Structure 1
Amino acid sequence: MARYAMSAIFGFAIVAMLAMFTFPVWQAWIFQFQTLLAGLFAVGAAYATVNQMRTSDVRADQRHSEVLELAIRSDRLKLERALVPFLRHLWIAHGSAKILQPRVPNFQDEIEPGLGYTDSQLQFQIDVIWNIYRDLEEIFQAPAFIAGSDLFGGKENFAVGKIKETMKDFQSHRLLYLRDKEKHTSGVSRDQFVATHAKAGSFNSLIAFQLEPLVSGLFELARKYQIEIDQSPANFIGFS
């Protein structure tokens, strides 16, 4: 619109100049109202300029929106790769740890004959907790999860750091357990077995606590970026 108005103004000005030399009456009329005409031309030119600037601003805003949309789309894809399917696995690990937490004695002096715990039950609990550990290890080592963690908030990245510290401590004790198991053909010594179970119980309690802010924060992030996460009923590890 502004472009057409500007063209019309210049066209009218050229016609008027040519008419001055052809029609004396028209020349006299222009001389009489030249100040008014100059003002009208100035207002018209200013109006066309302002409209052109507005059009340029609109186009600039559109280009900015397109660039921003592309950036958000890139971030969304990056985050989706980090959360699918890993967030569901974290959710299952958290649910498993919470279910297991009240069933696992956390201290060595609780594991005594007469409490109803058999060695096979204690070993089963250790194995379940070790499975939770391995699941977390696979998630945190996945390249897609590591790349997407750049988009996590401070709360989520802090939780990941604390969980990794807890896992590192449990891993060192697990290695001692496995070495003791290799040394004794009849199985792990009772003291080592009890100590490992106590450590596993402590690890499970910490994980159940530390996964809470991570899982809730990542679900909130998924909703923000409109990423669908499978929350269908899960068979939590070792329990129905």
Structure 2
Amino acid sequence: MRGSNGYRVALACVVIVVAATVLPALFGRGPQPDIGDLGDPWRNFVFNYQTLITGIAAVVAAFFTIRQISETDSRQERRHNELVKLQMRPDRLCMERAINPQLEHIRYINTKLRAYDFGLESFAEMKGAPEWHWLTKVSQDWIEDLTGLQEIIKRPQFRDALYLFDGRTTHAIYDLEAFLPSALEALQKHRRFESDFDPNISEHEEYDQNFTSIFEKLSVGFVFITLGAVTLADLMRLAAAEYDIEIR
């Protein structure tokens, strides 16, 4: 209906222009100076200013042409965007399932890990090796959080979206997958040693060897785990923005 009305208006404008210019130019009475007849004023106006009228008509025609082209381009762009959204819908739904609620769970664990702000100097006044007390504290607090982080990145809805993540995100996931199992194993092993050995008894050579290995493994692994978890959360937030996903 709208297009039909526009066509009628344009046709009416053409008829008016033809009636106002072409007809007077063809059939209007020209000036006859010998008898003192100045002729048809409207015909004379069209004849004298035909170049100006033609220029104005060309500008008006160009304006409407550009406007029509712009509207056509806008419609094509809207159709293109709709097609792109339709084609991306499966990927967007897959990414949405990977981000919600996994991102909030990872953020929660990151908050808890950052809250554990203590170093070996915190245990310097305690009897025995500071490394022992540090690792004991870590094993008491972190096993649950690291297990939860490992469970999150193993969820099916998270794994299904791996092909949609960029290189940095998959690298962060790789770091977590590489270091979480060994860190958890080290913490669990230390808890067993804690119940079976006294770190202040020097004759437990086997314990000393295992303790050094566990402490070094966890110290390195925890750096990669914390950095990987923070990086993963940040990159998942960017992915949510890219796919226009609301984080819940």
Superposed CA deviations along residues 112-145 of structure 1, whole A, max 9, x for unmatched, are: 83567886981x4213222222112111110111
Pair 1:130-2:143 in alignment = yes
Q: How does 1:11-160 map to 2 (within 5 A)?
A: 61-103=77-119, 113=127, 122=136, 124-160=137-173
Equivalent AA in structure 2 for residue 113 of structure 1: K
If you compute each CA radius of gyration, which structure gives the higher value, 1 or 2?
2
SS at match of 1:102: coil
Pair 1:210-2:228 in alignment = yes
Counterpart of 1:42?
none
Q: CA deviation at 1:66?
A: 1.9
* Distance in 2 between residues matched to 1:66 and 1:157, nearest whole Å: 29
TM-score, normalised to structure 1, is: 0.55
* Distance in 2 between residues matched to 1:100 and 1:201, nearest whole Å: 14
Aligned length: 208
* Distance in 2 between residues matched to 1:94 and 1:196, nearest whole Å: 26
Q: CA deviation at 1:98?
A: 2.6
Say if 1:104 and 1:125, in contact at 8 Å, map to a contact too. no
Say if 2:96 and 2:245, in contact at 8 Å, map to a contact too. no
Say if 1:86 and 1:139, in contact at 8 Å, map to a contact too. yes
Say if 1:156 and 1:217, in contact at 8 Å, map to a contact too. yes
Counterpart of 1:167?
180
SS at match of 1:67: helix
Kindly report the root-mean-square deviation, in angstroms, between the aligned alpha carbons of the 2 structures.
5.3
* Distance in 1 between residues matched to 2:104 and 2:165, nearest whole Å: 16
* Distance in 2 between residues matched to 1:143 and 1:228, nearest whole Å: 19
Counterpart of 1:35?
none
Q: CA deviation at 1:97?
A: 2.5
Identity of aligned pairs, percent? 20
* Distance in 2 between residues matched to 1:61 and 1:120, nearest whole Å: 60
Equivalent AA in structure 2 for residue 218 of structure 1: M
Equivalent AA in structure 2 for residue 84 of structure 1: N
Say if 1:91 and 1:215, in contact at 8 Å, map to a contact too. yes
* Distance in 2 between residues matched to 1:157 and 1:72, nearest whole Å: 20
Counterpart of 1:228?
247
TM-score, normalised to structure 2, is: 0.54
Match of 1:187 among 190, 193, 196: 196
Say if 2:175 and 2:228, in contact at 8 Å, map to a contact too. yes
Say if 2:143 and 2:184, in contact at 8 Å, map to a contact too. no
Say if 2:135 and 2:187, in contact at 8 Å, map to a contact too. no
> Gapped runs of 5+ residues in structure 2?
10-67, 198-205
The answer to which structure, 1 or 2, has the higher relative contact order (CA under 8 A, 6+ apart) is 1
Distance change (3 Å), C-alpha of 1:116 and 1:72: same
